[in-house]
Homo-oligomer: A and B are copies of this chain.
């Protein structure tokens, strides 16, 4: 039985108990999007994974500061350091101010998070908004001998760092292989780097480069990795609890973050590194070059040749949650449609529970079920197991409704509370209403139910008060043997 939260730590390749540095506070840094395009399927899994973590930690009573950055500069076009800044490239194409593009896609990203019912981040720092902090960190790295300027750019000296530190430890790469074939002397005489493994902290900009800032080394822009080191240190301190991101960021991005932060502050920035796996499409990685991406908004309209029909945000979310975050997840219409059915069954069951009639004794063990659900969450946020447990409850509920199984009043109450807790509060699923006006009816039905409960408990003052207030609001209640009906004026 896993009685407390355990998480897989990429750094140690091990599942280990989660122990905050300064409980009840928990600091989390998650690598957010590069805002140079519409959010696509690949953008969905990260926010959902870390939202479960966020929600579960809040449930456990922690005070969470979750920082998720917006990369609006500094991400290179390809993974070599010689490319253009991606956003600037797009901006030139569209003849727009790069920050206008960044704003547009930041808005799209926010809209997606809202649709997926992801809790907002505590702080959402932008890379372009932390040039000062990045420059200061680069200067410190130069002073400490871990970085060098070269032709207006600044590079991190991987060989120097490797003399005293274990470069490659996080990503599990062999330091010697990373450094192999490179030397401090540049044979060609053309490359600015001392070593091909070195990575850019600051890149010189030419005049055509439309996002650039002054620096001690001339005009330029920050390298891709430094923003996360600078911003996480600013908002969470030089060492914090959890650093999250996609597995595709493990190398070189996170490995570089570890190197930069360790060289600058003397410590690995995060005690625990969490990586979610990728979504594939028909077994292939999504990539612009493969032209197999699906925009998130396409799911909601069905407007994409890869999609058989439209899928709702919660349908997409439930599909994601059905796989463990560390496993790959392959997109298919069949899987999405199966998820849709499953989600509907869960939501229907929540209503079935309301209708269960209590028995003197319980024929199945709700406490055990609750424990097993928490056990699934504690076991590295194992949402597929949790969902399997929820479906066990679905089956038992239906049997109880059919009087094959039985539950005591107390256990029904418990089941109600925990079923809601897992489905809505921790998995962050929602009922999706076709129209807003349904909410009005649902609130009203809840009020009628509370009045019935009050009457059953002989709390007639409350029951009358609910009736009177509804009358004031233009609602007439009519009680009969079948229950209470209403008319709204």
A465 contacts partner chain B, Cβ-Cβ < 8 Å: yes
Complex Cα distance, B434 from A440, in Å, reads: 11
Q: Select the stretch in A76-84, A243-251, A356-364, A466-474 that faces chain B.
A: A466-474
Which B residues lie within 8 Å of A431 (CB)?
472-474
Interface string of A444-487 (1 = CB under 8 A from B): 10110010010000000110111011111110000000000000
A121 to B, closest residue via Cβ: B103
Nearest B residue to A236 via CB reads B97
Chain B residues positioned under 8 Å from A124 (CB to CB): 103
Oligomer: number of copies: 2
- The closest CB in chain B to the CB of A132 belongs to B131
List residues of chain B with CB within 8 A of the CB of A488. 435, 439
**CB neighbours of A214 from chain B (8 A):** 132, 136
Q: Which residues from chain B contact A265 at a C-beta distance below 8 Å?
A: none
CB neighbours (8 Å) of A453 from chain B are 462
A473 and B443: CB pair below 8 A?
yes
Hey, which chain B residues are within 8 Å of A430, CB to CB?
Answer: 472, 474, 489
Q: How far is the CA of A130 from the CA of B468 in the complex (A)?
A: 40
Residue A117 lies at the interface, judged by CB distance under 8 Å to chain B: yes
Across-interface contacts of A450 in B (CB, < 8 A)? 447, 450, 462, 466
Q: Indicate if A421 sits at the interface (CB-CB under 8 A).
A: yes
Chain B residues, CB < 8 A from A462: 450, 453
A436 / chain B contacts, CB cutoff of 8 Å: 433, 436-437, 439-440
Cβ contact within 8 Å between A469 and B129: no
Contact indicator B420/A472 (Cβ below 8 Å): yes
Identify A123's interface contact among B97, B125, B444, B472, CB under 8 A.
Answer: B97
The CA of A3 and the CA of B416, in the complex, are separated in Å by 65
A424: chain B residues within 8 A (beta carbon): 468, 471-472
Residues from chain B with a CB closer than 8 A to the CB of A461 are 413
If over half of A's interface residues share one DSSP class (helix, strand or loop), that class is named, otherwise mixed; here it is: helix
Please tell me if the beta carbons of A117 and B489 are within 8 angstroms of each other in the complex.
yes
A123 — which chain B residues lie within 8 A by C-beta? Answer: 97, 99-100, 103
Interface residues of A in 54-82 (CB under 8 A from B): 65
A152-198 residues with Cβ-Cβ distance < 8 A to B are none
A107 within 8 A of B: yes
CB of A473 within 8 A of CB of B100, answer no
Chain B residue nearest to A102 (CB atoms) is B123
Residue-by-residue, is A421-435 near B (CB-CB < 8 Å gives 1, otherwise 0)? 101110000110101
Residue of A350, A470, A489 with highest tally of chain B CB at under 10 A: A489
Pick 21 A–B contacts, CB within 8 A, sort by A: A65-B100, A97-B123, A103-B123, A110-B110, A131-B131, A132-B213, A413-B461, A413-B465, A416-B465, A417-B464, A420-B468, A423-B472, A431-B474, A435-B437, A435-B440, A436-B440, A437-B440, A440-B440, A443-B443, A443-B447, A447-B447
CB–CB A97/B435 < 8 A: no
Question: Complex formed: what's the CA distance from A130 to B214 in Å?
Answer: 12
> Is A342 on the interface with B (CB-CB < 8 A)?
no
Cβ of A120 within 8 Å of any chain B Cβ, yes or no, is yes
Residues from chain B with a CB closer than 8 A to the CB of A126 are 126, 129
A97 to B123, CA, bound (A): 9
B440→A466 contact, CB < 8 A: no
Assembled-state Cα–Cα distance A82/B238 (Å): 32
**Least CB distance, A435 to chain B, in whole angstroms:** 6
- Nearest-CB residue, chain B, relative to A350: B472
Question: What is the distance, in angstroms, from A225's C-beta to the closest C-beta of chain B?
Answer: 19
